[in-house]
Amino acid sequence: MRISCPRQPDGERRVALTPDVVTKLVAAGHTVHVAPGAGEQAGFPDAAYTDAGADVGPSEAAVDLTVTVVDPGGAPTGALLGLLDPFVATDRMAGLAAAGTTVFAFEAVPRTTRAQVVDALSSQATAAGYQAVLVGAEASDRFFPMLTTAAGTIRPAKVVVLGAGVAGLQAIATARRLGAVVSAFDVRAAAAEQVESLGARFITLDDEPTDASDAGGYATQLADDAQQRIIDGLRPHLADADVIVSTAAIPGRPAPKLVDDTSLTAMRRGAVVVDLAAATGGNTTRTEPGVRVVHDGVVLIGDTDLVGGVAADASRMYAKNVAAFVELLAGDDGAYAPDWEDDIVAGSCIARDGRLVHPRLAPTPT
């Protein structure tokens, strides 16, 4: 299989293939082309790719598979694999389908045990959750751990994490490592045990946690009245927080609002909210994507590229997800030969044979 790794659009520091993964792909019989400078911002120079066996330079040969972190633009020949936001960028997906590109999106990977090795959403969420706590700690006016000093004892910071998916759980673990007292909330009933296993307290509202998740394990949208009950129930817990990390997201939909203006006003001055859902509207009513703002004395951080702060390790994890997916697309002889009966291959496919094929995007038969 001939695999191409393009340079990412401006602002994206990660790269889809790292030199160690290129070495393994070449050893498996694949030909790998890496665009000049593709890994520079993640700390991987062209020379490292050349040493790994990649062809670095202008590509003139036909490509079977283009692997990318985000949409590279254009209409790649053959197949395209990446984080493509397919359920939001629907017009773009239709355009790729019309151009004849076969599209595989990590956002559509089934949430199964077998698919964990190709679950790029989870690997990148791990990086985001870790970074969110470090950013929150840097912006906070409080020490995270308890300190016993000659000037007296300083109590530990209180951190609240909203959403206990992969990013949220990593945020909990990181805040705990830094010595903070952590509590967390999630609409999914199964999350309580995971939160408590990390040494955090699960926030239980007057309504018992429901199983607000779909068959794939993702959180689902709540009715307006249920949403308001959650906002009201969380308010006293948020008022006592020093740092809030919000990670609540619903695939393909705007982020749920969990922190309204009343909640922000009730929070102490100097508190910090790191909103990982900023790119899809944010979990607070005052989040601004890509901007750090102050509202009623509360610092709101809507950074949409937290993962880029650890681009090297985020790329290493992502490249391993890519390599595992390549194995699913390769036949016994290493050629591009997807097994369309495979649930991961079929489930992740957005476009094929000139048309949209994913159930969420394919036209309804008439």
How many CA atoms within 13 Å lie on the side-chain side of 319? 26
What are the φ/ψ torsions at residue 304 (nearest 5 degrees)?
Answer: -100, 5
Residue 277 · residue 285 · CB < 8 Å:
no
Give me the active site residues, please.
Answer: 111, 116, 119, 122, 218
First to last CA, the chain: 38
Residue 338 Cα distances to 95, 102, 356, angstroms: 22, 11, 17
Q: How far apart are CA 27 and CA 52, in angstroms?
A: 10
- Tokens representing 9 are 């659009």
How many CA atoms within 13 Å lie on the side-chain side of 170? 19
At 350 the three-state DSSP class reads strand
How many CA atoms within 13 Å lie on the side-chain side of 206? 10
At 37 the three-state DSSP class reads coil
Residue 247 CB neighbours (<10 A): 27
Residues in the chain: 366
- Selection from 275, 307, 311 nearest residue 291 by Cα: 275
State the greatest distance between any 2 C-alpha atoms of the chain, in Å, as a whole number: 77
Burial 14-29 (b: 16+ CB within 10 A, else e): bbbbbbebbbebbeee
- Tokens representing 254 are 């705007």
Q: How far apart are CA 68 and CA 15, in angstroms?
A: 7
Task: Say if strands 243-246 and 272-275 run parallel, antiparallel, or are unpaired.
Answer: parallel
